[in-house]
Chain A
């Protein structure tokens, strides 16, 4: 398989802090890799290394086969970068920003203008094209950043927390754009704190915590790995909750999780046949439910389980901080 992004053993220290502690990544061409992790996990540092903005202390990385250190210029000709750290100039208008980038990339003035107009139209910024970016809303600003990173038609696109702080509507727009780019064959590396975002967009997920990869795979694989299924019951009447809890305890032998806010009871099960038993017992007791079902754990469950498991590794991080 050909990889658009490959990295092995990336280590980056800032003084006594270890931001990356041996990160491996591999993204096949045309796929979306979601890099998940809490704040300070090392996601942004990884992107900066892969975007040639930062040199790793150890390890290597290649983008489309080019080394990010020794062939940095070639890498820069292939990538696009959008994120908290790569921004447009807020004193300039949308058009001026994109034309500037086009000219820097060697486009003649007319071509740079045409490309700018095309991208601004694509991101629904044509009406605001002549306005200073500082007058843009958060969502418009993010779309302008995204447009700026696409002027050079990158093969590989880095999106560093592209939807952090955006309202659901703007977030959906960004997602639609990413899907469109993937359809055109662009490889995307996306960092996010939102599990839903990774679930929606990513073909592959890498979970990073304390500068280390703690899990990698497809969303399905990760959900599977966290263990069995969970059986969920949503009572029609909240007053039935204790009775349902008693039935579930009786059948599984453990206390179910009761989420009163969501009006949901759930319990881990390893035998899917239990579902019909639960339905039968509820029927006998004359209790109705709005929802009964089995489901794979969500990425939230996965993430919590995984980061929960990293507790034993905490001494490593502390040791490296010392």
Chain B
């Protein structure tokens, strides 16, 4: 049979990236239309901020203002971790709703929906950090350093989030429904974010817990963010956080890809 138009037989990496960006644009459109879908990365950080600063701030740090300065950089790390849940949920929703099959029946790269979901996560990262930072500034938080170091902090946080989101993709491919993604991942994120020095200084903790807190990537990233936003040493902690991120991605990127291929054929 002769065909009028020679069909596409090969998809270049450039096209794959273009398809990925188009699908990330879809994620942005969805956020714009359903702002309530971002409540978990907007309202929850605000509640955490208010709750911890005004309820525990005096007890932990002696004053709410002082506590806000120490807490905010760490809270930014925690919110990045929570925001990374979005990738797995978005992918799982598309698969269970049949949207994925529509994409898969089209001549686009197999990886495009994955690229789109991960880029869509960056949007969530930026939104959650913006909301958290704005509210903190209203409450009295001030960056003590310079815009350059502020941007390095943001870049580090987003880079770490992009490593974590492969855990989210992996879980999103394994569970049956989108709702199961946060349920499963919270068991991973809670020890990571609460078992750190985000909320309390690590020397106030029992020895065995200090051991974990001191190696926890969230502790290192929180320290680095504090250094970058408030002044002080940050390079060593940033290096450790970076290594952790690479390590997490090295384990979960292949696992996620394998689960993705298995799930979507």
Q: Which residues of A contact B (CB under 8 A)?
A: 2-4, 29, 51-55, 64-66, 71, 73-74, 76-81, 84-92, 96, 100-101, 103-106, 132, 148-149, 152, 155
Contacts and interface: CB of A to CB of B under 8 A. Distances in A.
A87 B22 contact: no
B9 A71 contact: yes
A148 B102 contact: yes
Interface residues of B, number: 31
A85 B101 contact: yes
30 contacts: A3-B1, A29-B1, A51-B105, A52-B104, A53-B265, A64-B1, A65-B1, A73-B11, A73-B107, A74-B8, A76-B105, A77-B7, A77-B107, A80-B105, A81-B105, A85-B98, A86-B101, A87-B102, A89-B26, A89-B30, A89-B97, A91-B30, A92-B29, A92-B30, A104-B22, A104-B103, A104-B106, A104-B108, A104-B112, A105-B108
A87 B97 contact: yes
A50 to B, nearest CB: 10
Given A74-B9, A105-B106, 8 more contacts: A53-B104, A76-B107, A76-B108, A86-B102, A89-B30, A92-B30, A149-B102, A152-B106
Majority secondary structure, A binding face: loop
A88 B99 contact: yes
Nearest to A155: B3
A188 to B, nearest CB: 15
Nearest to A102: B22
Contacts of A89: 26, 30, 94, 97, 99
B113 to A, nearest CB: 10
Interface of B: 1, 3, 7-11, 15, 19, 22-23, 25-26, 29-30, 33-34, 94, 97-99, 101-108, 112, 265
Contact of A66 (B7, B23, B108): B7
Given A65-B1, A105-B107, A73 B8 contact: yes
A4 B102 contact: no
A6 to B, nearest CB: 10
Contacts of B25: 100
Contact of B265 (A55, A77, A100, A103): A55
A88 to B, nearest CB: 7
A91 B105 contact: no
Nearest to A81: B105
Contacts of A3: 1
A148 B1 CA distance: 26
Contacts of B99: 87-89
A155 B2 CA distance: 12
